Chains A and B, each alone.
Chain A
Amino acid sequence: MAALCKLRFGCRSAFRFSSSVSVRTSFSSDSEDGTRAGAGFAAAFQRQAELQREAENSAPDQSGSIPGQEQTFASLFQAVPVRDKVVVGNIFHVVRDDLYIDFGGKFHCVCRRPAAGGERLQRGSRVRLKVLDPELTARFLGAKTDTTLLEAQAVLLGPLEEREAQGRVQKQD
């Protein structure tokens, strides 16, 4: 019984000793669990920072490794552009009443300036769109492949309100 207690005490003190050694903070006392938790976080943060630095340093060496990148593309790519999706676009060119809007897809779309509140929409404005078709294509009679217009089709829903933009940011967080 006494031997067991001694063993347990011995283990605990060894653990405390190792945790205090790995920590370079001012909490050198190892009597309370609270300080151990605080010390643990600092140790973890420093370890993470070191790992990141090591990763950055070794990134050029690893750049030729294909398995790592394969995971990256598969993890990066989630969704295919879908029809009837509401997105936020950015106007990059204006020709009188036609607004050329880029919404992050392969092609841009061209929408007519709306009658109500249209003067506010200039180059650089952000707008809400409903994407009807990410690429306008059709197969004509006698053709081997589809003929593409190199444009998307979307309906302009209106300018992006400031409150909506903030709400979206909060939702993402």
Chain B
Amino acid sequence: MATRALTKGLLGLRHVRGPTVKVSNSGRQFATASSIISPEPQTCSVRDKMLDLPLEKQDLFRVSELFTVKDLFDARVHLGHKKGCRHRLMEPYLYDSSLDYDIIDLDKTAEDLRRALDKTAHTAYGGGIILFISRRRQFCHLVENTAKQCGEYAHTRYWQGGLFTNAHIQYGPGVRLPDLVVFLSTLNNVFQQHVAIRDARKMNIPTVGVVDSNCNPSLITYPVPGNDDTPVAMELYCRLFKTVINRAKNKRKQMELLHSLSEPSEPSS
């Protein structure tokens, strides 16, 4: 809830990102209270209404209909690595820790996946930038295509040091960072945690990550315990994220049309 509110507040500032932003947990006031560029009150209220709609309704994007536990099972999402590769912090997500091969509990996965897809949908609905990251060469083409098909971004190459933390110098002043980072595999090529996880945390960017039994889930905002090595599982995740993002964007277009029909004097943003 706090993360959602934080993101909403950050979304309200489309052009300015910096230490001057002060956000607090005081309800729905951030878009107007902390914005430095003051918009007209009318557009603000209309945009607020549109942004509040998903918060009022439970599961506005019908994320729970997208998959079942059986689908996850068929996509081999429950298969983890061997016992020796296990990360200590993944033990709560495992079905039975005494087995030689780790099996991830799909009930927990289903719940976490729904939460993650919901977060992705909310971000896409609010017009946020989503960045897909995966350092698995086997799936780099798939991830890039997924991002292209839903109109978002992907980074599947070597991660240079300060891409988030030093963005204003590496890319230029006033660059906009992603509002959500989706890790389809949290490890890099040498089985260490991807640097972007720590950097996104530093920059207050919420992260969604598919964590396998050898990954560290602690720094990720919405961890989804699941298999990240099998092509079937990766295709399932990519399909789900793509569907959810497209659905959210279509919903946003619908709401904008509705509001533009009801209030013809609204300036187009």
A146 proximal to B (CB < 8 A): yes
> Which residues of B in the span 76-99 have a Cβ within 8 Å of any Cβ on A?
76, 78-82, 84-87, 95, 99
- Report the bound CA distance from A145 to B65 in whole Å: 38
Digitize A106-148: 1 where CB-to-B-CB distance is under 8 Å, 0 elsewhere.
1100000000000000000000000000110101000001111
A146–B229 CB distance below 8 A:
no
Contacts of B65 in A (CB 8 A): 60, 63
**Known contacts A76-B69, A134-B101, A145-B85; A69/B76 CB under 8 A:** no
Q: How many A-B residue pairs have CB under 8 A?
A: 77
Residue ID in chain A nearest B78 by CB atoms: A77
Q: How many residues of A contact B (CB 8 A)?
A: 25
Q: Which interface class (under 10, 10 to 19, 20 to 34, 35 or more) fits B?
A: 20 to 34
Q: Is the CB of A106 within 8 A of B84?
A: no
Min distance, Cβ B252 to any Cβ of chain A, angstroms? 22
Q: Which of B76, B99, B191 contacts A106 (CB 8 A)?
A: B76
Chain A residues with CB under 8 A of B62: 60
Q: Which residues of A contact B80 (CB under 8 A)?
A: 106
Q: How far is the CB of B135 from chain A (nearest CB, A)?
A: 13
Q: A5 interface residue, CB < 8 Å from B?
A: no
B101's contact among A66, A76, A81, A147, by CB below 8 Å, is which?
A81
Shortest Cβ distance from B151 into chain A, in angstroms? 27
Which residues of chain B are near A77, meaning CB under 8 Å? 73, 78, 95, 103, 106
Q: Does B123 have its Cβ within 8 Å of any Cβ on chain A?
A: no
**B99 neighbours in A (Cβ, 8 Å):** 80
B73, B81, B84: the one contacting A76 at CB < 8 Å is B73
Contact status A146-B85, CB under 8 Å: yes
Report B-chain residues with C-beta under 8 Å of the C-beta of A134. 101
Chain A residues, CB < 8 A from B266: none
Q: A60-B64, A73-B106 are in contact. Are A107 and B84 (CB under 8 A)?
A: no
Check A150 for interface membership: any CB of B closer than 8 A.
Answer: yes
Q: Which residue in B70, B87, B100, B111 is a CB contact (below 8 Å) of A80?
A: B100
Q: Are B64 and A69 in contact (CB under 8 A)?
A: no
Contact call A73/B69, Cβ cutoff below 8 A? yes
Q: Mark A7-25, 1 if CB is under 8 A from B, else 0.
A: 0000000000000000000
Chain A residues whose CB sits within 8 angstroms of the CB of B84 once the complex forms: 137, 139, 145-146
How distant is A79 from chain B, measured CB to nearest CB, in Å?
10
Residues in B neighbouring A135, C-beta threshold 8 A: 81-82, 101
CA distance A17 to B65 in the complex (A): 43
A124 to B64, CA, bound (A): 34
**Is B238 engaged at the interface, CB distance under 8 Å to the other chain?**
no
If A66-B107, A77-B103, A135-B101 touch, whether A72 touches B69 (CB-CB below 8 Å) is: yes
Interface string of A64-105 (1 = CB under 8 A from B): 101001101100110011000000000000000000000011
Task: Contact check, A107 vs B82: say whether CB atoms are below 8 A apart.
Answer: no
Residues of B within 8 A of A139 (CB): 84
Listed in ascending order, the chain A residues whose CB lies under 8 Å from chain B are 60, 63-64, 66, 69-70, 72-73, 76-77, 80-81, 104-107, 134-135, 137, 139, 145-148, 150
